[in-house]
Structure 1
Amino acid sequence: MTDVATPQTPDTTEGSESNGGPLDFLKRVWDRIDTTNALVLPALALASALIIGIFVIALSDIDRIQDGDWGGIVTTIIDAYRALFEGAFFSLKGFNETLVATTPLLLAGLAVAITFRAGMFNIGGTGQMLMGGLFSVWVGFTMSGPGILQVPLAVLAGMVGGMLWGIIPGFLKARAGVHEVISTIMLNFIASSFVLWVLKTNAFRREGRQDPISKLVDDEGRLPRLFGFLGRPELRAHTGFLIAICAAIFFWWLLERTTLGFEIRAQGANPHAARYAGMKPGFLIIVTFAMAGGFAGLAGATEVIGTQGRATQTFAGGIGFDAIAVALLGRSTPVGTVLAALLFGALQSGGQKMQVETGVPVDLVLILRALIVLFIAAPQLMKFVWRVKAEGATAGPSFGGWGE
C-alpha cells in the first residue's frame, strides 16, 4: 500500500498578521493591553481629564466666546497647558516647587496605599501627619547639636508620632470592630484640637506670639536643601524628597519580598482565606495601620523640619485627603504612587504659573485632580470611552464591610 502524502495547508495566520500594516499591528497591540496594569488606567484617566479641561478653560473665557474669537480661545488653551507643564518641570525653581509639593504627597500617599493593599481605608492621614509633625518639631527646637544627629532624630520622632496615632484605629478595628473610616475621621479632629492646645502652651508657643505657632526649628535641625550648593535660597527642595523615595522603595520591598508583605496582601485579597491559612488578621490590621501612620508621620516631619521650619494647627493642609487621590491614581503600587504624587505635585506647582501667565484660574488644577479620581473609580467607563478590551479589570482596591 503506497503512502500518499497529504498536502499541508500553509499556516498563514502569522503571515497575514504581518501583512496587515502598521495600523493593524498597533491595533492588535492596543487590544491586548491589560487595563489592570498599574499605568494604563491612570494614563487614560489623565488623558480624559486633560481633554475635559480644554472645555473648562474655554468656558472660563466668556468674553471671547461671546465675541466668537475661537482662535483666541485655542491660543489660551495651548498657553494654559504649556504654562502648566513649563511651570512644573522646565525651570529650576518650578521643578523645585514640584519636588516640595511631591514629598508630603508621596509619603502620605504611601500611608493610604498600604491600607488599601490590606483591604482597609485610611482617612486619618491628616491626623497622623499632625502628630508626626508635632513630635518632629519638638525635637527640632529643643535639641542642640550637630545636624548629623539632630535631623535623623527629628525624622525618627515624626515617624514614631505618626505610628502611635496610627495604631489607635488599627487597635480599635482589630479588637472592637470599629470601622476605620469612622475612627480615622474622628482622630483627625482630635489630633487637630490636640495640636492647637499644645501649640498654645509655653513649651511650644513662639516667644512674642499669641497665635498658635511653634518655636522655629534650629538651622542645624532643618533638612538640608537639595540644591543648597547653588546658593539660591528660593530653591526650597530638600532631602525629604529622598526620604520619600526611600520610603517608596521600602514599601515595594515590604510587599514583594517579605512574609509580612505577603500576609498583608493576602489579608486585602481575601481576609477569610487569610484567617483560614493561619494568618492573624488582628495583628496584620494593627501593624498595617502602624506603618501607615509611620509614613504619614514622615510626611509631617518633612513639612515642619524641611519646608516650613515650624508647626501650626494647619500645616498639614489638605495633604491627608489629597493622598487618597494619589493612592487611587497610583493603584496602590509603589511606582504608581510615586508617579501619581509627582503628577499632583506638578499640577500644584505649575498651576501658579498658569494663572499668572494666562489668567486661567488655578482652580482648574482642582478640577483636573477631581476628574482624574472620578475616572480612576470608573474603569468600565474608561474602557467604553477609549474602546479598550480587557478581561478582569477591577475598579481598584476593595475594602472590607462594616465590622470586618
Structure 2
Amino acid sequence: MSATVATTPPQPVPSAAPPPATSFWQSTALPSLLSVVMAMVVGAVLIAVSDEDVRASSSYFFARPGDMLSAIGSSVVGAYGALFRGSVVDLSGGSVAEVFGPLANTLLFATPLVAAGLAVAVPFRAGLFNIGAEGQITVAAVFAAWVGFALDLPPVVHLVAAVLAGLLGGALWGAIPGVLKATTGAHEVITTIMLNYVARFGILFALGTTAFQREGRADPISPPVADTAVLPRLLDFSRLHVGFLLALAAAGVAWWLIGRSTTGFRLRAVGANPEAARTAGMSVPRTYVTAMVLAGTFAGLAGVSQVLGSERVLTTGISAGLGFDAITVALLARTNPVGVVAAGVLFGALKSGGLTMQATTGTSLDIVVVLQSLIVLFIAAPALISAVFRLRSTGAGVGQLSKGWNG
C-alpha cells in the first residue's frame, strides 16, 4: 500500500517593488527651487560679512548683540530689496514705466538666456554636452547683422531674411561638431570649445574688413542694422522686443519636439543608451547631427535677439558670455524646456536687479555671479539638498539629468 504525499504548489517569488514614480515637481522643480533658496541663504551670509556696519558692530557683539543683528538684517534686506526693485517692480516709481520698467528689463535680459539655454538642454537629451553656444551665438549674429545692414529689402522681408540668416548661421556652426562626432567620434566638448575660439577670433577678423567695419571708424564695430531689420519693441518705455516672444515660442517647440515627436523620441533613446538605440534600428550618427543642428538653431535665435533687438550693431562682445550662462540655465532647469524659461527669467532678474543693488546699496555686482555659481553647485549636489531639507533623494545629479525628464 503506497502512501500519498501531499505537495504544495510552488509559490511565485515576489519581485522587488518598483520605486515609486516621482512627479515633475518632486524630481525637477522642487530640487531646483531649493537650490536657489540655498544659494540665496549663502549669498545673504556673504552680503552680511562684506557690510561695513556689520563688521563694525561685531567688535562689541557680546556687549550689545542687538546692534550686530540689526546691521545684518539691514544689509541683507536692503540688498535683496534692491534686487527685487531692480528686477520685478519698483513701487516707489511715479509712472508705469518706472514701476514696471524693471520687469521689462528682466525679460529683456532673459530673452537670449532662454534661447541659449535651449541650445544646451536639447542636445543634452541625446547625451551631448554643447559647450559651443557662445560660438554659435557669435556666428549667428554675424550672419544676421550682415543681412541687416548690407542688404536693401522691404521692411517685413528684410526682418525675416535677417532672422533666418542668423538661425542658419547658428545651425551651420552647430552642425560642425555634430558631423565630427558622427563621422570621427570626436568629443563634442572639445570641438565646441575649440569652435568658440574660432568664432571669437573670426568675428574680430571680420570686423577689421571693409565688408563689416563701419566707415570712418578704426575700432571693431559694424554699421548699424537698418530699421527695416530691427526686431520691433513690445513696450514704448523699454527695449524689450519681439525676440522675447520668439524665445517663448522656441521653448514651446523644444517641449513638443522632445516630449511629443518621433525626433525627440530618438534623441532621448540615443541619450539613454546609444547601443540599444542602434540595435532598435535608429541611426545614432544622424541623431547626433540632428541634436547639434537644433542646438545651433536655438543659439542662433539668441544671437539674432542680440544683434537685431538689444544691440542693433555687431561688435566683438555681441555674445556677452551668454553661451556659458546658458549652461547654468540648462542645469538649473534640469534640461526641461519649460524650466529653461523659468531659469532664464531668474537669471535675467539677477542681472537686472544686480545693477540696482550695486547702485543703491553699494553691494558688489560680483555677488550675482556668486549666486549663479552657488546655484550650479547645489544643483550638482542633490544629496546635499535632500539632506538639508530632508527630501527623498531622486539621484538626479548633473550626470543623470539627460535621463530624468520623461516629457
Q: Shorter-chain TM-score category?
A: 0.7 to 0.9
- Amino acid of the structure 2 residue aligned with 1:74: G
- Asked whether 1:44 is paired with 2:44, we answer no
Structure 1 residues 80-138: Cα deviation after superposition (integer angstroms, max 9, x where no partner): 11111121010322112111110110000000001111111000001000000000001
AA aligned opposite 2:135: G
In the alignment of these two chains, the number of paired residues is 363
1:56 is matched with 46
Work out which of the residue numbers 142, 166, 170 in structure 2 matches 1:162: 170
Amino acid of the structure 2 residue aligned with 1:57: I
For each residue in 1:330-383, what CA deviation from the matched residue of structure 2 results, as whole angstroms up to 9, or x when unmatched? 010111110000000000000111111111111111111000000001101110
Structure 2 matches for 1:123-138, cutoff 5 A?
123-138=131-146
Cross-structure match for 1:113:
121
Aligned to 2:18: none
Give the Å deviation of 1:33. 7.3
Query: Is 1:329 aligned with 2:329?
Result: no
Over the residues paired in the alignment, what is the CA RMSD in angstroms?
Answer: 1.6
Q: Tell me what 2:298 maps to.
A: 295
- Counterpart amino acid of residue 316 in structure 1: S
**Is residue 72 of structure 2 the alignment partner of residue 73 of structure 1?**
yes
2:181 aligned with 1:173:
yes
2:342 aligned with 1:339: yes
Q: For 2:157 and 2:148, locate their aligned partners in 1 and report how far apart those are by CA, in whole Å.
A: 11
Pairwise mapping of residues 140-151 of structure 1 onto structure 2 (< 5 A)? 140-151=148-159
Q: Which residue of 2 aligns with 1:18?
A: none
For 2:182 and 2:401, the matched residues in 1 are separated by: 15
Q: 1:210 maps to what in 2? A: 218
Check whether the contact 1:33–1:389 (CA below 8 A) recurs between aligned residues.
Answer: no
Cα drift, residue 255 of structure 1: 0.8
Gaps of 5+ in 1: 1-31
Structure 1 pair 244/397, CA: closer, same or farther in 2 (3 Å)?
A: farther
- 1:159 touches 1:295 (CA, 8 Å); kept in 2? yes
Contact 1:117-1:397 within 8 A present in 2 as well: no
Q: Could you tell me whether the CA contact under 8 Å between 1:119 and 1:397 is conserved in 2?
A: no
Q: Distance in 1 between matches of 2:50 and 2:155?
A: 49
Offset of residue 37 of structure 1: 2.3
Whole-angstrom CA distance in 2 between matches of 1:137 and 1:119: 32
TM-score normalised per structure 2 = 0.86
Structure 2, gaps ≥5 residues long: 1-21, 59-66, 90-98, 403-407
Alignment of 1:1-400 (within 5 A): 37-68=27-58, 69-70=67-68, 71-90=70-89, 91-228=99-236, 232=237, 235-390=238-393, 392-398=394-400
SS at match of 2:87: helix
Deviations 1:152-195, CA, capped at 9 Å, x for gaps: 11111000000000000001111111101100000000011111
Give the structure, 1 or 2, with the largest relative contact order (CA under 8 Å, sep 6 or more): 1
Query: Hey, what's the Cα distance between the residues in 2 that align with 1:312 and 1:282?
Result: 35
Q: Percent identity?
A: 47
How far the C-alpha of 1:146 sits from its partner, in A, is 3.2
> How far 1:273 moved relative to its partner?
1.1
SS state at 2:163 partner: helix
Q: Deviations over 1:207-239 (max 9, x none)?
A: 1111111111011211000113xxx3xx11000
One-letter identity of the residue aligned with 1:248: A
1:8 aligns with none
CA contact (8 A) 1:118 1:268 kept: yes
Instruction: Tell me how far apart the structure 1 counterparts of residues 290 and 132 of structure 2 sit (CA, whole Å).
Output: 15
Report the alpha carbon displacement of residue 143 of structure 1 after superposing the two structures with TM.
Answer: 2.2
Secondary structure at 1:316 match in 2: coil
